[in-house]
């Protein structure tokens, strides 16, 4: 209520001041594209999110490069998450190990230099030389360039190669221009050029010679506002024109409000809990099963997320052929969880509500972070429902979570992850469930899963790939290695004067040449 009061006061002040200025200045008429400025507030940019800067070859910074219109990839996804050419015209699968990609002939970098096969080759060569994830994903053996085409040969069969090239790390930029000395900026092919890049703000100017047409807005300022109430008030007061990441309680302020427009879409970003098999208590099959049975996914999405999420059965949402109803998760059943624990010898002997076994309390260290508002809410939810089953949950919500991961000081790591950024299931499995994968934070191993993922890596048939994905996901669920809570419904809230700003299921594309603001 206090936040809403602040917002109301700001609105009143803004309205009065705006009215006085309008009375003095009179109508200014329609602004030209060069005069238009779009201010965007988002919680999705900042050090805690790992995407500070615009160098696609540095961690997750490519997300910012792509989202904010500075760079583009060879291929992209449409609203149905189907592949479409972007900087490329088309591609040809020569054999199981070789792909030829033909490039557009009309693309220039923002410095005026033409994008050629050699320029693309140079960029991808650097990517696989320096990036932390791309070499494992792409498995590239060699790249050759010939005019406006490149030919990629992989070390292994790579049926998902073109999909992987849609990942934000695949943004093409001018390697001759290189990365700025601070490591945060590059020369891309997109509709906007970054003039300044800091840990909290990106200031963009339109690329007047953009190959895809002149942008409708001259300047864009992307501001990192990590406090939800501050973000809300910035939008209400007119400091920003649009916002992403508003607290769900505050989102209601803009619904059914004629002054604002909301663009929403379901994404493959899942809120998941990885159970750490290196933990003695987690190694107990009964404990993992009871934990899965004690997560109230419906309550989490309906009450705490206020409908801005969809309960997740597995890693992929229902709009994918290998997601949703294709797998079966463990039903919410507190009484059933109690019986599972009782049968395994976990009993509350001292009457404090928490079960014990062999003198050990059933207490779980739940590690998560705060930079995504949904994660502390999930921790709050499981803390309440697990207690009903006799499980104590000690929550450690910190944006220094990587230190605890490195130290192994956790039983559960709950995080958010886009499971199908390539529109294909392979990416998630190869990063989360196989031995030595980058994000296997549960140290999970299953021989069957290893075999199925190896088959997936070598299968080109789409239907067979989907069937393999379902089998892998079901095995992970049967082992209770991961518990999947919800898929995110992402929303952009903007002034009604803003157009061409639309939420995309990939969670990639935001600032485009179509963005416009008319006041």
Q: How far is CA 20 from the centre of its chain?
A: 43
Residue 305 lies in a domain: yes
The SS3 of residue 194 is strand
Collect all residues with Cβ–Cβ distance below 8 Å to 483 and sequence separation of at least 6: 272, 273, 275, 291, 292, 295
- Dihedral sign for Cα atoms in the order 207, 68, 63, 149: negative
Q: Which of 247, 244, 243, 221 has the alpha carbon at shortest distance from 234?
A: 243
How many CA within 13 A on the CB side of residue 387? 11
Q: In this structure, what token pair is assigned to residue 267?
A: 């994404």
Q: In this structure, what token pair is assigned to residue 104?
A: 């557009």
Confidence at residue 24, expressed as pLDDT on a 0 to 100 scale: 41
Quick one: 227 and 358 in the same domain?
A: no
Instruction: List own/partner pairs for 82-85 with CB under 8 A and 24 or more apart.
Output: 82/423, 83/162, 83/163, 83/166, 83/423
The SS3 of residue 477 is helix
Q: How far apart are CA 412 and CA 282, in angstroms?
A: 9
> For the CA atoms of the chain, what is the radius of gyration?
24
Residue ranges, the chain, pLDDT below 50: 1-28
Confidence at residue 50, expressed as pLDDT on a 0 to 100 scale: 67
Residue 192: C-alpha distances to residues 85, 107, 510 (Å) = 20, 14, 12
Quick one: 110 and 129 in the same domain?
A: yes
Residue 16 lies in a domain: no
Quick one: 237 and 326 in the same domain?
A: no
Collect all residues with Cβ–Cβ distance below 8 Å to 426 and sequence separation of at least 6: 159, 160, 163, 453, 456, 457, 465, 469
User: Can you name the residues that pair with 42 across neighbouring β-strands?
Assistant: 224, 244
Residue 21 lies in a domain: no
**Residue for token pair 């990441």:** 245
Q: How far apart are CA 193 and CA 185, in angstroms?
A: 9
Angle at 258 between CA 256 and CA 262, to 5 degrees: 65
Residue 88: C-alpha distances to residues 84, 417, 451 (Å) = 9, 28, 34
Whether residue 476 contacts residue 457, with contact meaning beta carbons closer than 8 Å, is answered with no
Whether residue 243 contacts residue 234, with contact meaning beta carbons closer than 8 Å, is answered with yes
Whether residue 170 contacts residue 56, with contact meaning beta carbons closer than 8 Å, is answered with yes
- Dihedral sign for Cα atoms in the order 335, 341, 345, 350: negative
The SS3 of residue 84 is strand
Cβ-count burial of 280 within 10 angstroms (0-12 exposed, 13-18 middle, 19+ buried)?
exposed
Quick one: 298 and 313 in the same domain?
A: yes
147-177 pLDDT per residue, tens: 999 999 999 998 999 999 999 999 999 999 9
The enclosing domain of 86 has a CATH number of 3.40.190.10
Residue 17 lies in a domain: no
Confidence at residue 62, expressed as pLDDT on a 0 to 100 scale: 95
Quick one: 212 and 311 in the same domain?
A: no
Quick one: 202 and 298 in the same domain?
A: no
22-52 pLDDT per residue, tens: 444 434 457 899 999 999 999 887 666 667 8
Torsional class of 448: left (φ above 0), alpha (ψ -120 to 50), beta (otherwise): alpha
> Which domain, by its residues, includes 51?
2-6+31-259+496-517
Residue 11 lies in a domain: no
293-336 pLDDT per residue, tens: 999 999 999 999 998 899 999 999 887 888 878 999 999 999 99
Residue 331 lies in a domain: yes
Quick one: 71 and 207 in the same domain?
A: yes
Quick one: 162 and 94 in the same domain?
A: yes
Domain count, the chain: 2
Residue 23 lies in a domain: no
Which run of H or of E encompasses 289? helix 285-293
Instruction: Specify the DSSP class assigned to residue 175.
Output: T
Quick one: 419 and 435 in the same domain?
A: yes
User: Can you name the residues that pair with 224 across neighbouring β-strands?
Assistant: 42
Quick one: 179 and 300 in the same domain?
A: no
Residue 147 lies in a domain: yes
Whether residue 389 contacts residue 337, with contact meaning beta carbons closer than 8 Å, is answered with yes
Quick one: 513 and 462 in the same domain?
A: no
pTM comes to 0.81
Quick one: 428 and 338 in the same domain?
A: yes
The enclosing domain of 384 has a CATH number of 3.10.105.10
Determine how β-strand 392-397 pairs with β-strand 363-368.
Answer: parallel
């Amino acid at each position: 209520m206090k936040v809403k009061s602040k917002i109301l006061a700001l609105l009143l002040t803004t309205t009065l001041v705006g009215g006085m200025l309008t009375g003095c200045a009179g109508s200014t008429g329609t602004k030209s594209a060069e005069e238009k400025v779009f201010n965007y507030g988002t919680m999705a940019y900042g050090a805690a999110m790992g995407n500070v800067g615009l160098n696609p070859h540095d961690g997750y910074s490519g997300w910012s490069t792509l989202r904010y219109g500075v760079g583009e990839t060879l291929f992209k996804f449409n609203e149905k998450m189907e592949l479409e050419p972007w900087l490329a015209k088309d591609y040809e699968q020569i054999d199981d190990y070789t792909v030829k990609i033909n490039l557009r002939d009309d693309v220039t970098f923002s410095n005026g230099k033409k994008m050629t096969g050699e320029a693309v080759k140079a960029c991808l060569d650097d990517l696989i030389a320096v990036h932390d994830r791309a070499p494992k994903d792409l498995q590239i053996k060699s790249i050759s360039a010939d005019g406006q085409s490149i030919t990629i040969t992989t070390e292994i069969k790579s049926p998902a190669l073109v999909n992987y090239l849609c990942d934000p790390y695949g943004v093409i930029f001018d390697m001759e221009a290189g990365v700025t000395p601070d490591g945060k900026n590059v020369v891309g092919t997109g509709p906007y050029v970054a003039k300044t890049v800091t840990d909290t703000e990106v200031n963009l100017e339109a690329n007047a010679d953009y190959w895809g047409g002149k942008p409708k807005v001259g300047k864009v300022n992307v501001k990192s506002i990590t406090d939800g109430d501050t973000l809300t008030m910035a939008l209400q007061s007119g400091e920003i024109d649009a916002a992403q990441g508003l607290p769900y309680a505050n989102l209601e302020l803009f619904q059914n409000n004629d002054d604002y427009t909301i663009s929403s879409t379901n994404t493959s970003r899942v809120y998941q809990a990885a159970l750490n098999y290196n933990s003695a208590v987690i190694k107990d099959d009964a404990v993992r099963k009871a934990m899965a049975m004690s997560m109230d996914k419906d309550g989490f999405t309906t009450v705490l997320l206020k409908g801005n999420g969809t309960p997740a059965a597995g890693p992929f949402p229902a709009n994918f052929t290998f997601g949703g109803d294709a797998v079966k998760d463990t039903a919410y059943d507190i009484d059933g969880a109690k019986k599972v624990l009782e049968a395994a010898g976990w009993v509350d002997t001292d009457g404090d509500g928490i079960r014990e076994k062999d003198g050990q309390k059933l207490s779980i260290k739940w590690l998560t972070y705060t930079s995504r508002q949904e994660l502390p809410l999930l921790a709050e939810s499981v803390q309440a429902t697990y207690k009903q089953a006799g499980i104590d949950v000690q929550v450690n919500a910190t944006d220094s979570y990587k230190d605890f991961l490195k130290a192994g000081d956790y039983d559960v790591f709950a995080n958010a992850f886009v499971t199908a950024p390539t529109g294909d299931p392979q990416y998630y499995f190869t990063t989360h469930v196989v031995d030595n994968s980058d994000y296997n934070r549960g140290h999970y191993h299953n021989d069957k899963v290893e075999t199925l993922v190896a088959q997936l890596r070598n299968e080109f048939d789409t239907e067979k790939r989907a069937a393999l994905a379902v089998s892998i996901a079901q095995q992970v669920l049967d082992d209770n290695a991961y518990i999947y809570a919800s898929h995110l419904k992402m929303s952009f809230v903007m002034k009604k004067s803003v157009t061409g700003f639309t939420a995309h299921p990939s969670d990639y594309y935001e600032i485009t040449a179509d963005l416009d603001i008319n006041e």
